[in-house]
Amino acid sequence: MQNFEAFKELLGSPKRIAIITHPKPDADALGSSLGLAGYLKKKSHTVQVITPTDYPKFLQWMDGNEGVINFEAEGNAAKAEKIFQDADVIFCLDFPSLSRIGEIGEIVRRSPAKKVLIDHHLEPELFADYTLSKTSAAATCQLIYELITDLGDVDKIDLSIAECLYAGIMTDTGSFRHSNTTKDVHLVCAALIDKGVEISKVNRLIYDTNTEERMRFLGFALKDKLVVLPEYRIAYFAISADELDKYHSQTGDTEGLVNYGLSIDNIVFSALFTEREGMIRISFRSVGNFSVNEFSRKYFNGGGHKNAAGGRSLVSLNDTIQKFLDVVPQYKQELFISDK
Ligand code: 5GP
Ligand code: MN
């Protein structure tokens, strides 16, 4: 952060602080928000975490979860808008531009509060008064840990905060399997373990709380919905709203599905298309040099990281798949030279 001393001074006296993260928060988004909130409360600030939408049950064990305001839930929009308007400081965590959070982005932009962006996605928008954007960081939770350390407050990180931060780093590195798993990642996690984090407990809370229906859905998706195109080294799933309904799919139930495509021998590009709330939500994953961030930006109104990105489409599921199949042939060469 360029103007770190001014930032430190800003937080030097009690402030009204709002924290916002991206829609459908994952463990890094929610963990960084609640971890930071826990720390700021210890520094005598008044803190409110606001999420644009709901989030999966397997994240709701995090300390501070019960105080989160879901903007989308009935009656909450006006309340949240007032909190943003009255805030002294708004932290924007784990997303790179205000357009990513839709209408809330404009509310944040209009607020007189000082804005702080802490993120690890590509191509950050320079809207904030204080920006900590590090695309080499594996997770926003890693940046929160480093920031608290740089503020000289590592002793303020208690077990609850440490669990939130560990969860985000664990999931954003794919359980320490992706290429973003650096020495620094392990050093931060070692420090969090020193704070008392039990690795097996956090793993269980995130990964081993499946409902039977989610497991049945996974079986259905792998058996009937997986399409493999070895000629392009691509695998994809296209799942309709009716199919999600049939398995009573909840927020978070499709999380991780896209990775199964990527685990297939010789596949370097995997996609998941799901029809939800009148649009098609897309997850892209790749290994090697192929940038799904660029691909998603170019064709599907999205973005993210080089090897993990998301996007959306406003035409039907079939038309979205057709568009995907129409554009991939031009990447055949690129996909074939990608390392696996
Ligand atoms: P996921 O596929 O897990 O939803 O998202 C993968 C990555 O892409 C995450 O870092 C997420 O923040 C980002 N991402 C997901 N959806 C979108 C989107 O619609 N726009 C942009 N810019 N990024 C997205
Ligand atoms: Mn993240």
Domains of the chain listed by start with CATH number = 4-207 (3.90.1640.10), 212-337 (3.10.310.30)
Tens of pLDDT, residue by residue over 125-178, are 999 999 999 999 999 999 999 999 999 999 999 999 999 999 999 999 999 999
**Residue 120 near ligand 1, beta carbon < 6 Å:** no
Mutate to test the pocket of ligand 1, among 92, 99, 121 (most ligand atoms within 8 A of CB): 121
Contact by Cβ (8 Å): 331, 299: no
**Residue 313 near ligand 1, beta carbon < 6 Å:** no
Closest residue CA from atom 13 of ligand 1: 304
* Ligand 2 centroid from CA 174, angstroms: 11
Residue 1 has pLDDT above 90, yes or no: yes
**Whose atoms come closest to the Cα of 313: which ligand?**
1
* Ligand 1 centroid from CA 188, angstroms: 24
Closest residue CA from atom 7 of ligand 1: 309
Alpha-carbon dihedral of residues 329, 334, 339, 340, nearest 10 degrees?
-10
**Whose atoms come closest to the Cα of 138: which ligand?**
2
Strands of the 303-304 sheet, one edge to the other: 226-229, 234-239, 269-276, 279-286, 308-313, 303-304
**Residue 283 near ligand 1, beta carbon < 6 Å:** yes
For the segment 294-316, the average pLDDT, to the nearest whole number, is 97
Residue 338 has pLDDT above 90, yes or no: no
User: What is the position in ligand 1's atom list of the atom closest to the CA of 297?
Assistant: 22
* Ligand 1 centroid from CA 218, angstroms: 21
* Ligand 2 centroid from CA 195, angstroms: 22
Torsions phi, psi of 250, nearest 5? -105, 165
Tens of pLDDT, residue by residue over 236-285, are 999 999 999 999 999 999 999 999 999 999 999 999 999 998 999 999 99
Name the burial class of residue 182, with classes exposed (0-12), middle (13-18) and buried (19+) by CB atoms within 10 angstroms of its CB: middle
Q: Read off the amino acid at residue 223.
A: K
Task: Tell me the pLDDT of the chain averaged across its residues.
Answer: 97
Mutate to test the pocket of ligand 1, among 20, 26, 270 (most ligand atoms within 8 A of CB): 26
Mutate to test the pocket of ligand 1, among 21, 28, 100 (most ligand atoms within 8 A of CB): 100
**Residue 22 near ligand 1, beta carbon < 6 Å:** yes
Mutate to test the pocket of ligand 1, among 296, 305, 307 (most ligand atoms within 8 A of CB): 296
For the segment 65-81, the average pLDDT, to the nearest whole number, is 98
For position 339, what pLDDT does the model report?
83
Name, in order, each residue with C-beta under 8 angstroms of 49's C-beta and a sequence gap of 6 or more.
18, 19, 20, 21, 33, 34, 37, 64, 67, 68, 69
For the segment 117-124, the average pLDDT, to the nearest whole number, is 96
Tens of pLDDT, residue by residue over 284-296, are 999 999 999 999 9
Residue 340 has pLDDT above 90, yes or no: no
Residue 329 has pLDDT above 90, yes or no: yes
Tens of pLDDT, residue by residue over 6-51, are 999 999 999 999 999 999 999 999 999 999 999 999 999 999 999 9
**Residue 304 near ligand 1, beta carbon < 6 Å:** yes
* Ligand 2 centroid from CA 120, angstroms: 7
Let me know the angle formed at the C-alpha of 43 by 112 and 201, rounded to the nearest 5 degrees.
Answer: 110
* Ligand 1 centroid from CA 54, angstroms: 16
